[in-house]
Amino acid sequence: MRRLHIFASLTVLAAIATMIALGLWQLDRRAEKAALLALYRANLTQPALAFPAQPPVPDAALFRPSSLMCLQVTGWRTEAGRSATGVSGYRWIADCRIAAQGPQALVDMGITRNPTLRPNWAGGPVSGRITSEPSHMSLLDRFGGKTEVLRPMLIAATPAPGLAPSAPPSPDDVPNNHLAYAVQWFLFAGIAGIIYLIALRRRMRAG
């Protein structure tokens, strides 16, 4: 029985130490994310650059102005989103051929409240800001450590006929909630410690 108590104590202490380490790691991640957000905000005032056709999008390219020539629209898809005025709707994203051979480019050509309204746009020059395509990774996959390589996408400044301009990408939409995660881990560690002390006290009284 004494060995069992020692093993239980070591297990609880190891769990508490792990929670504290995770909290400290989240604090480090918070500082890294703050530096990354500062880079994103600086990108808003940088000059235009060539559209990065290959994923992943470099951090130095996100939110910067760019342009491309859509030679042909090879497909459309819709994603939930909001317009530049804050109205929710369906974003129409075109899959554009930008070269005779090679990678294609995704272009957000605007938003509408009607998901069946197919844009009347066959291609042409497009200018806007660089972002990444919408992610479809589940929260469970994120906790499981899975990664997702997102393709670059251009948010068109001028929408296709019949569409409203989509909201331009903004660093303000990138969350920096690592402090909240750190506080949660520290709270978990504190609660586990309190529960362990209560259980230990009861055992001592029973003994």
Q: Which residue has the higher pLDDT, 94 or 100?
A: 94
Give the model's confidence band at 141: pLDDT under 50 very low, under 70 low, under 90 confident, else very high.
Answer: low
Average model confidence (pLDDT) across the chain: 86
- What pLDDT is attached to residue 70? 93
Same-domain check for residues 161 and 194: no
CB atoms within 10 A of CB 196: 17
Q: How many domains does the chain have?
A: 2
Out of 65-69, 158-162, 193-197, least confident range: 193-197
Domain for residue 32, yes or no?
yes
Condensed to tens digits (0 to 9), the pLDDT of residues 180-203 reads 888 888 898 888 888 888 877 887
- 3-state secondary structure string across the chain: CHHHHHHHHHHHHHHHHHHHHHHHHHHHHHHHHHHHHHHHHHHCCCCCCCCCCCCCCCCCCCCCEEEEEECEEEEEEEEEEEECCCCEEEEEEEEEECCCCCCEEEEEEEEECCCCCCCCCCCEEEEEEEEECCCCCCHHHHHCCCCCCCCEEEEECCCCCCCECECCCCHHHCCCCHHHHHHHHHHHHHHHHHHHHHHHHHHHHHC
Give the model's confidence band at 2: pLDDT under 50 very low, under 70 low, under 90 confident, else very high.
Answer: low
Cα 133 off chain centre by: 10
Question: Once rounded to an integer, what is the mean pLDDT over residues 91-114?
Answer: 89
Same-domain check for residues 148 and 91: yes
Same-domain check for residues 71 and 160: yes
Out of 58-62, 113-117, 163-167, least confident range: 113-117
- What pLDDT is attached to residue 71? 92
Domain for residue 187, yes or no?
yes
Domain for residue 113, yes or no?
yes
Q: Is it the case that residue 4 has pLDDT exceeding 80? A: no
Same-domain check for residues 74 and 91: yes
The encoded tokens of residue 113 equal: 């409240």
Q: Which residue has the higher pLDDT, 146 or 156?
A: 156
Residues spanned by the domain of 86: 64-169
Same-domain check for residues 4 and 43: yes
Same-domain check for residues 89 and 114: yes
Q: Is it the case that residue 1 has pLDDT exceeding 60? A: no
Say how many CA atoms lie within 13 Å of 184 toward its Cβ.
Answer: 6
Contact (Cβ atoms closer than 8 angstroms) between residue 108 and residue 153: yes
Phi–psi pair at 19, nearest 5 degrees: -65, -40
Domain for residue 59, yes or no?
no
Same-domain check for residues 125 and 204: no
Question: Once rounded to an integer, what is the mean pLDDT over residues 101-116?
Answer: 87
